């Protein structure tokens, strides 16, 4: 409040210039549409100039950086005086015109810097005769010991300083050398003289070689008249307005104004100072006393009926027992009401949980689980909301493992210290989707595949169902193959094994005995790795169940850009080949180390299109991940690339099934493990595998799916003209 009131200007007058406040009695120009000045008419000292182009405020021709009403001070920028040995002309004195404003003796000092230096200052009234000054001498650079210990001293070695007297104004400063020098000093050849704000300046030995400032801050002290308070108080131009008092200048010339105790504001402004409401200050009256504000002061008193004993407001002894009894009775009533509210709240929560349980299909799920023959041995569990809140510390943000379009995944620790991943959906489904959701939970709970994240159970008491999965602790596949996220790359043999494990898991989902499952969101971030880098397919939030007698499901297109099956995107019919396409993109990521979508590739930002284009132009080796490419596995990388290319065919019918993909990857791994025959035997055996026949004992031959798929690829490439 003091800062706001201190900056008051006359109505219509400029309040700021740049970032400098302009409080009255200072001002710029005249009030709009009047002939009245915005400043106090006293020797035109309070008439300032604002340069609109530079937003700088000037006192005469000197820049102003701050004006203080409380301290009656103004901070300006003053040039220094400089004299160098190699100059042909002597230095010119620098004159600072301040009018009746004086140089503050407490805030400033006079400093001379140099090694053969003399600096002096005087006033214009003495015809430029030196009133004071000092000499700084050093015939060589100070030793290192002085630099380390006395760097900031200004005691005569390279720097000297003197204080100002009182009431000095309109000064002249000049720097000079003691001797006439023909040779430039090897470490300093200039002398500097300056008046500077005491707190701003701190000497450094670096200044002997180069003083970096052309202007320095100086503090002026101002008064509003050359009269004393006694003489000025009866005059018409008396500057101190209502609720203010006059203070004589400490130099015996002029006076200043300040607000009286209990008032605040601008004492020079026509509106004067205004009362401070002390009662608005918290706890200003202690010990239960009431605050009463008055113009310029306040007092405290005890409320009616209370007695002031000097330290506190107290009740008479007999009146204490009545409030005490009422307080005890009131506390009892409050405790009873709180208990009843708590019981009612718990009953309401229980009813809400039961309602959510039924709306989320809990009864249907229990019915299906009870009909299962080995229900007593199943690991599927229906968790309570309290269990999962305790496991996640009430779903604290620090427990978040990841977020996606389907929901948020939290890390939880059950009562038996089992670490789990708890998925909380963003929004619940409508009543028509409850049966499908329960069937999906039931089917996923029966999946027991080492490469599929196990669904341990669910919670149906919340607004949206919560799914509880096993916890996989080694991050996603993308984290391990993306060079921007992980400097340590996993080798190609491990990548191929992860691809085979993932393909087996997806093939298992597609060929599940009761109802096939289409994952619909296969991507490298949904393939988790455990501490042994074993693949685990996760996130079935977008999955769909396909009845055995149907070949596809028509549904709203859903998935991740870059992995979406273009045929599914075009016609909206979801089938098993959609997962094949997504897995093909993952294979390409394993081969290239690139992400499915990269904007830096511009028109080829989608990895599948970029890969297909590179294959066409026979540039495969250029886009393969250099961290896994070597002469030994080059042939195998090309085979996997051919398989990936078949997986990302635009037409779903041209893609292999996940079962065929898994068999081919397993075949590659198996072939690599059993390479033990040397020379021509290896070539012969590989040729027979590539031709799709394996010799039998009776001389017949049997077709092998891995070899036949390679032949199909070659035939397809020829038929396609590529």
**Nearest Cα to 499, choosing from 615, 612, 584, 386?**
584
Interaxial angle between packed helices 576-592 and 634-647, expressed in degrees from 0 to 180 and rounded to the nearest 10:
150
Neighbours of 458 (CB within 10 A): 26
**Nearest Cα to 476, choosing from 529, 406, 543?**
529
| Residue 59 near residue 100 (C-beta atoms within 8 A) | no
* Residue the block writes with tokens 């500097």: 192
In whole angstroms, what is the distance from residue 221 CA to residue 102 CA?
5
Catalytic pick among 83, 116, 275, 521? 521
What's the CA angle centered on 104, arms 101 and 106, to 5 degrees?
Answer: 165
| Residue 25 near residue 39 (C-beta atoms within 8 A) | yes
In whole angstroms, what is the distance from residue 477 CA to residue 533 CA?
9
In whole angstroms, what is the distance from residue 274 CA to residue 387 CA?
63
DSSP H or E run through 663: helix 658-673
Token representation of residue 124? 């214009």
Cα separation values, 533 from 260, 276, 529, 537, 667, Å: 79, 72, 5, 12, 20
Cα separation values, 443 from 378, 439, 454, 514, 545, Å: 12, 6, 11, 8, 9
In whole angstroms, what is the distance from residue 293 CA to residue 271 CA?
21
In whole angstroms, what is the distance from residue 28 CA to residue 31 CA?
9
Interaxial angle between packed helices 434-446 and 362-371, expressed in degrees from 0 to 180 and rounded to the nearest 10:
40
Residues 6 or more apart whose CB falls under 8 angstroms from that of 130 comprise: 120, 121, 122
Burial class (CB in 10 A: 0-12, 13-18, 19+), 262: middle
CA 660 to chain centre: 48
Based on C-alpha coordinates, what's the Rg of the chain?
Answer: 45
CA 478 to chain centre: 25
- Runs of H (alpha helix) within 487-575: 492-510, 566-571
In whole angstroms, what is the distance from residue 264 CA to residue 275 CA?
6
In whole angstroms, what is the distance from residue 556 CA to residue 602 CA?
28
CA 638 to chain centre: 44
In whole angstroms, what is the distance from residue 240 CA to residue 132 CA?
37
DSSP H or E run through 419: strand 419-425
In whole angstroms, what is the distance from residue 456 CA to residue 515 CA?
19
Pairing of strands 527-529, 535-537: antiparallel
**Nearest Cα to 222, choosing from 60, 43, 101, 104?**
101
363 as an active site residue: the answer is no
CA 316 to chain centre: 59
* Residue the block writes with tokens 């963003």: 426
| Residue 39 near residue 184 (C-beta atoms within 8 A) | no
Residues forming the active site:
521
């Amino acid at each position: 409040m003091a800062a706001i009131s201190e900056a008051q200007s006359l109505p219509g007058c400029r309040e700021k210039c740049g970032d400098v406040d302009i409080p009255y009695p200072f001002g710029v120009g005249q009030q709009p549409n009047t002939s009245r000045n915005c400043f106090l008419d006293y020797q035109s000292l309070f008439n300032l100039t604002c340069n609109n182009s530079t937003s700088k405020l000037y006192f005469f021709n000197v820049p102003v950086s701050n004006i203080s009403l409380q301290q009656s001070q103004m901070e300006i920028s003053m040039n220094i005086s400089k004299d160098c040995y190699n100059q042909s002309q002597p230095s010119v004195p620098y004159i600072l015109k301040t009018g009746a404003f004086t140089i503050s003796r407490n805030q400033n000092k006079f400093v001379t810097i140099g090694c053969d230096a003399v600096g002096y200052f005087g006033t214009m009234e003495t015809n430029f005769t030196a009133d004071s000054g000092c000499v700084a001498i050093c015939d060589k650079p100070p030793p290192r010991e002085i630099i380390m210990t006395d760097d900031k001293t200004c005691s005569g070695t390279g720097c000297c300083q003197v204080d100002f007297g009182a009431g000095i104004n309109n000064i002249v400063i000049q720097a000079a050398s003691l001797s006439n020098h023909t040779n430039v000093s090897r470490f300093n050849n200039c002398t500097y003289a300056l008046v500077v704000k005491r707190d701003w300046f701190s000497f450094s030995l670096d200044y002997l070689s180069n003083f970096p400032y052309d202007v320095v801050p100086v503090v002026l002290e101002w008064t509003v008249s050359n009269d004393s308070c006694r003489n000025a108080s009866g005059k018409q131009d008396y500057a101190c307005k209502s609720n203010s008092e006059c203070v004589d200048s400490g130099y015996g010339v002029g006076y200043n104004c300040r607000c009286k105790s209990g008032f605040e504001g601008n004492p020079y402004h026509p509106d004067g100072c205004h009362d401070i409401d002390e009662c608005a200050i918290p706890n200003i009256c202690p010990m239960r006393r009431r605050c009463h504000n008055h113009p310029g002061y306040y007092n405290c008193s005890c409320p009616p009926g209370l007695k002031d004993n000097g330290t506190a407001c107290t009740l008479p002894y007999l009146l204490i027992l009545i409030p005490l009894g009422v307080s005890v009775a009131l506390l009892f009533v409050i405790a009873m009401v709180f208990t009843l509210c708590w019981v009612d709240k718990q009953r309401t929560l229980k009813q809400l949980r039961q309602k959510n349980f039924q709306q989320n299909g809990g009864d249907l799920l229990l019915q299906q689980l009870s009909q299962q023959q080995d229900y007593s041995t199943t690991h599927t569990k229906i968790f309570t909301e309290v269990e999962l809140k305790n496991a996640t510390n009430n779903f604290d943000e620090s427990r978040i493992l990841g977020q996606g379009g389907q929901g948020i995944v939290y890390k939880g620790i059950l009562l038996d210290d089992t670490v789990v991943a708890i998925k909380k959906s963003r929004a619940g489904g409508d009543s028509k989707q409850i049966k499908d959701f329960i069937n999906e939970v039931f089917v996923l709970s029966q999946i027991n595949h080492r490469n599929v994240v196990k669904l341990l159970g669910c919670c149906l008491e919340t607004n949206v169902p919560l799914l509880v999965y096993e916890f996989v602790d080694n991050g996603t596949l993308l984290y391990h193959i993306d060079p921007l996220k992980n400097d340590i790359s996993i080798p190609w043999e491990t990548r191929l094994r992860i691809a085979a494990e993932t393909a087996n898991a997806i093939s298992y989902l597609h060929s599940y005995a009761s109802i096939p499952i289409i994952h619909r969101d296969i991507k490298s971030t949904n393939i988790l790795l455990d501490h042994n880098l074993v693949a685990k397919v996760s996130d079935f939030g977008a999955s769909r169940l396909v009845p055995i007698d149907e070949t596809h499901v028509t549904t709203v297109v859903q998935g991740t850009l870059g992995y979406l099956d273009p045929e599914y995107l075009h016609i909206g019919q979801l089938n098993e080949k959609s997962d094949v396409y997504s897995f093909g993109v993952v294979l390409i990521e394993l081969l290239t180390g690139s992400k499915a979508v990269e904007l830096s590739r511009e028109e080829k930002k989608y990895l599948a299109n970029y890969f297909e284009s590179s294959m066409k132009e026979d540039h495969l080796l250029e886009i393969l991940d250099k961290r896994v490419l070597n002469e030994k596995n080059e042939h195998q990388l090309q085979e996997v690339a051919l398989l990936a290319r078949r997986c990302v065919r635009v037409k779903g019918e041209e893609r292999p099934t996940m079962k065929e993909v898994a068999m081919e990857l397993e075949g590659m791994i198996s072939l690599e493990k059993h390479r033990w025959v040397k020379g021509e035997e290896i070539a012969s055996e590989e040729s027979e595998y590539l031709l799709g026949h394996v010799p039998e004992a009776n001389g017949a031959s049997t077709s092998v799916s891995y070899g036949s798929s390679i032949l199909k690829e070659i035939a397809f490439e020829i038929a396609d003209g590529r």
